[in-house]
Structure 1
Amino acid sequence: MILPQTPGFRLDGKRALVAGASSGIGMACAVALAEAGAAVTLVARRADALAALVDALRVKGWQASPLALDITDLSATEAAVADTGPFDVLINSAGLARHGPALDTDPQDYDAVTDLNVKAAYFLTRAVARGLIAAGKPGSLMNISSQMAHVGGIDRAVYCATKHAVEGFTKSMAIEWGPKGIRVNTICPTFIRTPLGEQTLAIPERRKWIEDKIKLGRVGEVEDVMGAAVFLASDASALITGTSLLIDGGWTAD
């Protein structure tokens, strides 16, 4: 009897680009991919934070290099990806939230959030895909979305709108690039203990709302996202594209 073989989760020989890598979920994903064997290029605006992370990864014997870049600068981002790619894996964790009642939405806040969460995410994903297509290579492209891409939330009209938009272009890109072997997915966490998440967790009534919604009864940690990142980057998810991996503790189950 010939038994099936479990596809590997290792990423040896793969090159990965992680945006928003200087802290939070992005940093955790960068660690996970590097530990799994990928050569990881770390992108963020803060060069000092990137340098510290690169040093910490290299001490472990893992492959990492920094790329100080603001991904809302579309022309600079496209040029940098073209110069340093192609990348087999993309994880875009760069994101922004400016919460408040919809009636009080400031147009400048709206533009800032959509420019990063949607526009920059779209064109970064396209830039990495272009490199893969030119090289004739398959790949796995991921944007860190949110459970709020699937529901609504208090004081989150703008943020929810941006994450719903990411889900939309993910599906369309997956359809378009699937024949070329390029997979496009999102990872959708619940509230995670990060500097961004703590803005909400520090408000007692909001924290109660969150804990009541999460069926597993706890707020997420960055470690809860790391396995998902490796899974979607690896051959273990070879038939998964155009979808969302929800890491929400059951929030969206009802």
Structure 2
Amino acid sequence: MLLKDKVVLITGGSRGIGAAIAREVARQGADVAINSHDDDEAAQAVLTDVEALGRRGIHVSGDVALPETAAAFTEAAVDAFGRVDVLVSNAGICPFHAFLDMPVETLKRTMEVNLHGAWFMTQAAANQMVKQGDGGAIVAISSISALVGGEFQTHYTPTKAGVHSLMQSCAIALGKHGIRCNSVLPGTILTDINKDDLADPEKRKYMEGRIPLGRLGQPEDIGGAVVFLASDMAAYVTGAALLVDGGAFVNLQ
């Protein structure tokens, strides 16, 4: 019960990595607020699981690209649970596209959701934590893509590098308030974002062959890393990046 009676906010919490994190933090004793954009049915399924674990949960719908969503999400969590202890900034998109003919709107939307959304949510949660006066933890889901390129990800990889950089700077800006800021860098995790890209059995076999642990990641693989960084076990960890990739990055040469 590493997060017993903590209040954890998770963006993009209705599916994939976010849903897995919601279930894991509830298992570790936290009450959970999840945000998603027009995904009420899936969000309700996550809340059902949270409540089955004996914890409370709420869902707040909204587009993280809009600054008002961050304020509304934080306020709803405070109204429901009285405070905010942890923010997990997870919401993100990756519409794969070639570089030379990428539409401006695809670039802008990816930047606004992945990077601006993380910034808005971090600021709103941090202000609430400062008001409370007893610190907190912010964990942003970056990506191995912050460290390596991708032919069809020229709009996505800069956002994930930016999310990691955001946590580094916020670790400095918020340290005096007792707020720790860290990022998790998942490798290839099987989620809705990449299911079409990995539908080709040959490509999937190739990807698995590059990973020393011999398999692609599951959303549940990220939950433990987030719990660690959110918990008092990481009380002296801030500004750090934790790779959770099965060893893929070190095997790229």
2: CA distance, partners of 1:157 / 1:203:
22
Alignment partner, residue 63 of structure 2: 70
1: CA distance, partners of 2:68 / 2:220:
33
1: CA distance, partners of 2:70 / 2:156:
23
The question of whether the paired residues in 1 share the 8 Å contact of 2:35 and 2:73 is answered with no
Alignment partner, residue 116 of structure 2: 119
The answer on 1:98 being equivalent to 2:95 is yes
The answer on 1:21 being equivalent to 2:13 is yes
Alignment partner, residue 41 of structure 2: 48
Q: Percent identity?
A: 35
User: Unaligned 5+ residue runs, structure 1?
Assistant: 1-8
Q: Deviations over 1:79-122 (max 9, x none)?
A: 33135333111112211001122112211100111010000111
The question of whether the paired residues in 1 share the 8 Å contact of 2:32 and 2:50 is answered with no
The answer on 1:230 being equivalent to 2:227 is yes
Alignment partner, residue 72 of structure 2: 79
1:49 CA displacement: 2.1
The question of whether the paired residues in 1 share the 8 Å contact of 2:9 and 2:77 is answered with no
| Cα distance change of structure 1 residues 204 and 106 upon mapping to structure 2, 3 Å threshold | farther
Alignment partner, residue 36 of structure 1: 28
Q: Deviations over 1:44-90 (max 9, x none)?
A: 12222222221232123222222222222212321331353331111
The answer on 1:213 being equivalent to 2:206 is no
Which deviates the most, 97-106 or 131-140?
Answer: 97-106
User: Unaligned 5+ residue runs, structure 2?
Assistant: none
1: CA distance, partners of 2:153 / 2:222:
22
1: CA distance, partners of 2:224 / 2:49:
20
Aligned residues: 246
Q: After TM superposition, which residue ranges in structure 1, 4 or more long, deviate above 4 angstroms?
A: none
> TM-score normalised to the size of structure 1?
0.91
Alignment partner, residue 3 of structure 2: 11
SS in structure 2 of the partner of residue 102 of structure 1: coil
Instruction: Give the counterpart letter for 2:17 in structure 1.
Output: I
SS in structure 2 of the partner of residue 75 of structure 1: helix
Q: What RMSD over aligned residues (CA atoms) do the two structures have, in Å?
A: 1.6
2: CA distance, partners of 1:129 / 1:219:
34
SS in structure 1 of the partner of residue 13 of structure 2: coil
1: CA distance, partners of 2:127 / 2:93:
25
Q: Deviations over 1:209-249 (max 9, x none)?
A: 42243222211111211111111111111111111110011
> TM-score normalised to the size of structure 2?
0.91
1: CA distance, partners of 2:7 / 2:45:
20
Q: Deviations over 1:14-59 (max 9, x none)?
A: 1110111111000000001011001111111222222222123212
2: CA distance, partners of 1:96 / 1:202:
18
The question of whether the paired residues in 1 share the 8 Å contact of 2:15 and 2:43 is answered with no
The question of whether the paired residues in 2 share the 8 Å contact of 1:32 and 1:229 is answered with no
SS in structure 2 of the partner of residue 250 of structure 1: coil
2: CA distance, partners of 1:104 / 1:249:
33
